[in-house]
A and B are shown apart, each in its own frame.
Chain A
Amino acid sequence: MTNILIALVLILLVATLVQILRVSELLSELKKQDVNEVTDKDNATQGKILLIVGVLFLGSVVWQFVNWIPLMLPPASSEHGAVIDSLMQFTMVLIIFVFFVTHPILFWYGYKYNKNKKNPVAFFYPHNNKLEVIWTVVPTIVLTAVILYGLSAWDSITNADTSDSQVIELYAKQFDWTARYAGEDNTLGFSNYKLVKGPNQLGVDLTDEFSQDDVVVREVHLAVNKPVLLKMHSRDVIHSAFLPHFRVQMNCVPGMTTQFAFTPTQTTAEMKAQEGEDFEFVLLCNKICGAAHYNMQMKFVVETEEEYNAWMASQKTVKNTLTKK
């Protein structure tokens, strides 16, 4: 039934088009003029449409900003995230400014300079070296500023001192996450994919001394304002650990270790008070990894130091779970 309907609609559409064309051709025959020649009247009409659509377009952009900004991510909940947010604001202001300067010029020129009796010939103006130098130099200066600001932010994020960060491993596989805390010695025990067996899903080397105090969990808890260093691993395909609220993202690649350091600045409880009861920090997978890519998640909880310590104390170490028996 639907198929027939679709076919009917299509046939009707084509038929209408043919009719429109026929009518316009007949009309033009009466007027003894080629239908497809672009007339002064067309120029005037299209110029007007350009102006109207242009204004509507710019209006809709404003509308989208006003209505949808509240749906965007809340301000960053991490130290370096605040740096990213200000860089983002700076860049946004700049590009919105350029957008709202160039577009009106484009639409206005299109409207103003259409060919008609009053504007029959164009102004022959092949080049102007001075102008061209100006609009090469000005963007260059602006971009130098953008580049310098961007690079200093990047440097501060990627070269952060991690000597007293707590080390946590994020381990990705199709289609879930596991985390391993480095424990009291703050050193992750050796692991290898060949050692994955039974309950030892991360392939931790159980004979390694550093492994014994590691803690394997399916939900990450962090203490607020305490720096962490995430070390990423994958066992099958590339995944990407994405924590949008903290402005953290790093790929998890089989065969190598990647890392990202950050410091959470807000607890889950604070965020719930601000964003609503159902707020949670989540880890998403952000690199296409298979059928359930869209649902590969893990909860992150940020809490006070005491809450965190209590939670940690209740977790079992590798020694108590895997090595035993």
Chain B
Amino acid sequence: MSDHHKETFISKYVFSLDHKMIAKQFLITGMFMGIIGMLMSIMFRLQLSNPGESFAVLEWFLGSKWAPGGILDPNMYLSLVTMHGTILVFWVLTAGLTGTFANFLIPLQIGARDMASGFMNMLSYWFFFAATIILLCSLFVETGPASAGWTIYPPLSALPQAIPGSGLGQDLWLVSIALFIVSSLLGGLNYIVTILNLRTKGMSMSRLPLTMWAILITAILGVLSFPVLLAAALLLIFDRSFGTSFYLSDIIIGGEALHHTGGSPVLFEHLFWFLGHPEVYIILLPSLGIVSEVMSVNTRKPIFGYKAMVGAMLAIAFLSFIVWGHHMFITGMDPFLGSVFTFTTLLIAIPSAVKVFNYLATLWKGSIRFTPAMLFTIGFVSTFITGGLTGLILGDSALDINVHDTYFVVGHFHIVMGLSAIYGMFSGVYHWFPKMYGRMMNKKLGYLHFWVTFIAAYGVFFPMHFLGLAGLPRRYYTNSAFPMFDNLTDINSIITFFAIVGGLVQLVFVFNFFYSIFKGTKASENPWESNTLEWTTPVERIHGNWPGEIPTVHRWPYDYSKPGADKDFVMQTEPLKEGKTEH
């Protein structure tokens, strides 16, 4: 890359075209939003375990309108839940996770100077940034932020008379999500094109690291499903602002009969979940990729069953488009359709099981180096198992009748999607931090962070299954209105205790992150003795990635502890020995 202009502060750190800088922008924005989302969950947890009690912090954060005398207002409770879900699902685990690792790793791991279109990539971040600002603004509007749940089912989300959050707050939410989708499409198309077209010499598809496969599949899912959410959101905007009746029919609200007839809220649910279910895999797949890579490097073993791993991801991705109805078993959908969705949903358990067994086989007879990143991969396998198993209950329509929309669901999706994806993300940050900043993150703080997180997170989410089996619905401001739930107070207190501990220990991570950017010990070029191409780039991180020629690839990325090699790793750039075959 000879045609470089002189870099100014603005072109280097703000409107940067360099994929590595854009990745960091996504990461830091995601972390910032993550802290906000987490704070929200702690606020509503305080209300759930101590309903009606006064907490000075609540009034301090929310003001006297939404927490008069430190007691959380029920409308604000729903707003917090909604914004918490929105932020964690879209901002942290979609943009924060994919935006970071797709941008950072694609050119480095496939051997490219940058993304196919650096400009689109930059636009992708700035659309995301605009979406973020609008979402944050919505926290301050008079009638409160959106409060119809992150799933924003109409009519609740369509009628300001139904709940104050469905006023200006919901408008801003919709505009913000529309910009978010544009960002995600710009990013996704770029990822696909780059991986397919810009691979260096020798980097065939079957030599791609699993991170690349995972990100490629994620991007395809996103490009196919996000437009549907955009359409759903646009129609909702029409219903809200221009009097159409796509989702609305036969409604009386605030004593007034509305003119809408013929619309169907169920239509929205179909459109929403057509994105919504692939979305959970958009969240999960990058972490599956990261975990595969990090686990292989640190067990010093090839990932077990590379082809099966790719095949399983493809199968999961395909199936994820034909299972959305499992969110709608009890909407009055035709029972026969319910059967079909039960069938397809439970099929997903097969490729998922294959992945788990392959991870266990990768650990078997490894020589495991417990970096913090490695510990998080073990955490990932654990939560993936636990959450995947409870999915067998929710995916079974007959069983879903009684646990649908209860805390059982909250427990399930936090473990399988929330925790697994977050663990993958942490694992990735610890692992690639040396490449991002040329320094190491502190190991001891990493250990502390992992263990407290692992224990606290299970402490928060495992007990929620029992709340659900006791019949407790989710999105309840308090469970004190029903005597049948009075005996659940202990469980609720335990959950809140662990939520606070788990929340605090994330500050250790944030601290470690920023401390290490400036003060961490200096990293070498390939600190983990890893095979993939990114570790052949210099510590200095130049625009264009490699000072000279882009290296050529001669083998797959998982030659760890290969018999006959002189070290326990053989980089992808090393030619095959005379007469030797791959793997």
Q: Do A and B come from one complex?
A: yes
Q: Which 7 A-B pairs have the closest CB atoms?
A: A255-B249, A258-B332, A244-B471, A158-B335, A46-B370, A123-B365, A294-B476
Task: Establish whether residues B401 and A139, one from each chain, have CB atoms under 8 Å apart when the complex forms.
Answer: no
| Distance A155 CA – B338 CA, assembled complex (angstroms) | 10
**List of A residues within 8 angstroms of B249 by Cβ:** 254-256
| Distance A105 CA – B365 CA, assembled complex (angstroms) | 12
B408 smallest CB distance to A (angstroms): 11
Task: Establish whether residues B478 and A294, one from each chain, have CB atoms under 8 Å apart when the complex forms.
Answer: yes
A204 smallest CB distance to B (angstroms): 14
**List of B residues within 8 angstroms of A235 by Cβ:** 250-252
A70 smallest CB distance to B (angstroms): 9
Task: Establish whether residues A150 and B370, one from each chain, have CB atoms under 8 Å apart when the complex forms.
Answer: no
Task: Establish whether residues A290 and B444, one from each chain, have CB atoms under 8 Å apart when the complex forms.
Answer: no
- From A53, A110, A157, A251, give the contact of B331 (CB < 8 A): A251
Chain B residues within CB distance 8 Å of chain A? 56-57, 60, 74-75, 78, 148-149, 153, 155-156, 159, 162-163, 248-253, 257, 261-266, 299-308, 330-332, 335, 338-339, 342-343, 346-347, 349-350, 353-354, 356-358, 360-361, 363-371, 375, 378, 381-382, 385-386, 389-390, 392-393, 396-399, 401-402, 404-406, 440-445, 447, 451, 454-455, 458, 462-463, 466, 469-471, 473, 475-479, 481-484, 487-488, 491, 507-508, 511, 515, 519-521, 558, 560-563, 568, 583
- From B153, B339, B393, B519, give the contact of A95 (CB < 8 A): B393
Task: Establish whether residues A290 and B331, one from each chain, have CB atoms under 8 Å apart when the complex forms.
Answer: no
Q: Mark A46-69, 1 if CB is under 8 A from B, else 0.
A: 110110010001001100100010
- From B155, B471, B477, B521, give the contact of A238 (CB < 8 A): B155
Task: Establish whether residues B463 and A121, one from each chain, have CB atoms under 8 Å apart when the complex forms.
Answer: no
**Is A163 in the interface zone, CB < 8 Å from B?**
no
**List of B residues within 8 angstroms of A99 by Cβ:** 385-386, 389
| B266 nearest CB neighbor, chain A only | A253
Task: Known pairs A121-B300, A125-B302, A125-B365; list 13 more (Cβ under 8 Å).
Answer: A17-B445, A57-B458, A87-B398, A88-B399, A102-B356, A122-B299, A127-B307, A139-B349, A147-B346, A249-B405, A251-B330, A284-B482, A290-B162
**List of B residues within 8 angstroms of A103 by Cβ:** 382, 385
| Distance A282 CA – B350 CA, assembled complex (angstroms) | 38
Given A38-B370, A113-B366, A95 and B335 contact (CB-CB distance below 8 Å): no
- From B149, B368, B396, B476, give the contact of A91 (CB < 8 A): B396
Task: Establish whether residues B264 and A256, one from each chain, have CB atoms under 8 Å apart when the complex forms.
Answer: yes
**List of A residues within 8 angstroms of B478 by Cβ:** 294
**Is A268 in the interface zone, CB < 8 Å from B?**
no
- From B306, B332, B440, B454, give the contact of A127 (CB < 8 A): B306
**List of A residues within 8 angstroms of B149 by Cβ:** 288
Given A153-B398, A249-B401, A293-B477, A124 and B563 contact (CB-CB distance below 8 Å): yes
**Is A178 in the interface zone, CB < 8 Å from B?**
no
| B255 nearest CB neighbor, chain A only | A196
Task: Establish whether residues A254 and B370, one from each chain, have CB atoms under 8 Å apart when the complex forms.
Answer: no
**Is A120 in the interface zone, CB < 8 Å from B?**
yes
**Is A94 in the interface zone, CB < 8 Å from B?**
yes
Task: Establish whether residues B442 and A43, one from each chain, have CB atoms under 8 Å apart when the complex forms.
Answer: no
Instruction: Please list 29 pairs of residues, one from A and one from B, whose beta carbons are closer than 8 Å in the complex, sorted by A's number.
Output: A17-B445, A24-B442, A35-B444, A36-B521, A38-B370, A60-B462, A68-B491, A71-B466, A91-B392, A102-B356, A103-B385, A105-B360, A115-B300, A123-B301, A125-B364, A126-B303, A132-B308, A140-B350, A147-B346, A151-B343, A235-B250, A236-B159, A238-B153, A242-B473, A245-B471, A256-B266, A287-B405, A288-B78, A297-B481
**List of A residues within 8 angstroms of B475 by Cβ:** 288, 293
Given A125-B361, A237-B156, A255-B249, A2 and B308 contact (CB-CB distance below 8 Å): no
Task: Establish whether residues A125 and B401, one from each chain, have CB atoms under 8 Å apart when the complex forms.
Answer: no
**Is A3 in the interface zone, CB < 8 Å from B?**
yes
**Is A165 in the interface zone, CB < 8 Å from B?**
no
| Distance A159 CA – B336 CA, assembled complex (angstroms) | 10
A61 smallest CB distance to B (angstroms): 7
**List of B residues within 8 angstroms of A311 by Cβ:** none
B162 smallest CB distance to A (angstroms): 5
Task: Establish whether residues B148 and A121, one from each chain, have CB atoms under 8 Å apart when the complex forms.
Answer: no
**Is A313 in the interface zone, CB < 8 Å from B?**
no
- From A43, A60, A240, A279, give the contact of B330 (CB < 8 A): A240
Given A50-B378, A115-B368, A68 and B466 contact (CB-CB distance below 8 Å): yes
Task: Establish whether residues A282 and B401, one from each chain, have CB atoms under 8 Å apart when the complex forms.
Answer: no
Which of B303, B350, B441 has most chain A Cβ within 10 Å? B350
Task: Establish whether residues B306 and A126, one from each chain, have CB atoms under 8 Å apart when the complex forms.
Answer: yes
Task: Establish whether residues A120 and B367, one from each chain, have CB atoms under 8 Å apart when the complex forms.
Answer: yes
Task: Establish whether residues A14 and B511, one from each chain, have CB atoms under 8 Å apart when the complex forms.
Answer: yes
| Distance A236 CA – B265 CA, assembled complex (angstroms) | 11
| Distance A159 CA – B330 CA, assembled complex (angstroms) | 14
Task: Establish whether residues A249 and B330, one from each chain, have CB atoms under 8 Å apart when the complex forms.
Answer: yes
| B263 nearest CB neighbor, chain A only | A255
**List of B residues within 8 angstroms of A72 by Cβ:** 466, 469-470
Q: Mark A98-110, 1 if CB is under 8 A from B, else 0.
A: 1100110110011
Task: Establish whether residues B162 and A236, one from each chain, have CB atoms under 8 Å apart when the complex forms.
Answer: yes
Given A106-B381, A237-B155, A297-B481, A150 and B350 contact (CB-CB distance below 8 Å): no
| A252 nearest CB neighbor, chain B only | B332
A229-245 contacts to B, CB under 8 A, are 232, 235-238, 240, 242, 244-245
B546 smallest CB distance to A (angstroms): 26
**List of B residues within 8 angstroms of A64 by Cβ:** 462-463, 466
Given A38-B370, A49-B451, A256-B266, A113 and B562 contact (CB-CB distance below 8 Å): no
**List of B residues within 8 angstroms of A180 by Cβ:** none
| A34 nearest CB neighbor, chain B only | B521
| B515 nearest CB neighbor, chain A only | A21
**List of B residues within 8 angstroms of A50 by Cβ:** 370, 375, 378
| Distance A297 CA – B263 CA, assembled complex (angstroms) | 28
- From A83, A150, A237, A297, give the contact of B162 (CB < 8 A): A237
| B301 nearest CB neighbor, chain A only | A122
A219 smallest CB distance to B (angstroms): 16
- From A140, A236, A240, A279, give the contact of B155 (CB < 8 A): A236
| A44 nearest CB neighbor, chain B only | B370
Task: Establish whether residues B346 and A150, one from each chain, have CB atoms under 8 Å apart when the complex forms.
Answer: yes
**List of A residues within 8 angstroms of B342 by Cβ:** 147, 150-151, 154
Task: Establish whether residues B455 and A53, one from each chain, have CB atoms under 8 Å apart when the complex forms.
Answer: yes
**List of B residues within 8 angstroms of A284 by Cβ:** 471, 473, 482
Q: Mark A208-252, 1 if CB is under 8 A from B, else 0.
A: 000000000000000000000000100111101010110111110
Task: Establish whether residues A196 and B442, one from each chain, have CB atoms under 8 Å apart when the complex forms.
Answer: no
Task: Establish whether residues A237 and B159, one from each chain, have CB atoms under 8 Å apart when the complex forms.
Answer: yes
Given A115-B368, A154-B398, A238-B153, A250 and B381 contact (CB-CB distance below 8 Å): no
**Is A131 in the interface zone, CB < 8 Å from B?**
yes
| B385 nearest CB neighbor, chain A only | A102
| A6 nearest CB neighbor, chain B only | B57
- From B370, B375, B482, give the contact of A282 (CB < 8 A): B482
**List of A residues within 8 angstroms of B307 by Cβ:** 127
**Is A26 in the interface zone, CB < 8 Å from B?**
no
**Is A136 in the interface zone, CB < 8 Å from B?**
yes
Q: Mark A258-300, 1 if CB is under 8 A from B, else 0.
A: 1100000000000000000011101011111111111101000
- From A119, A258, A293, give the contact of B367 (CB < 8 A): A119
| Distance A294 CA – B407 CA, assembled complex (angstroms) | 13
Task: Establish whether residues A253 and B265, one from each chain, have CB atoms under 8 Å apart when the complex forms.
Answer: yes
| B441 nearest CB neighbor, chain A only | A36
| B471 nearest CB neighbor, chain A only | A244
**List of A residues within 8 angstroms of B262 by Cβ:** 255
Task: Establish whether residues B308 and A240, one from each chain, have CB atoms under 8 Å apart when the complex forms.
Answer: no
| Distance A138 CA – B74 CA, assembled complex (angstroms) | 48
Task: Establish whether residues A135 and B354, one from each chain, have CB atoms under 8 Å apart when the complex forms.
Answer: yes
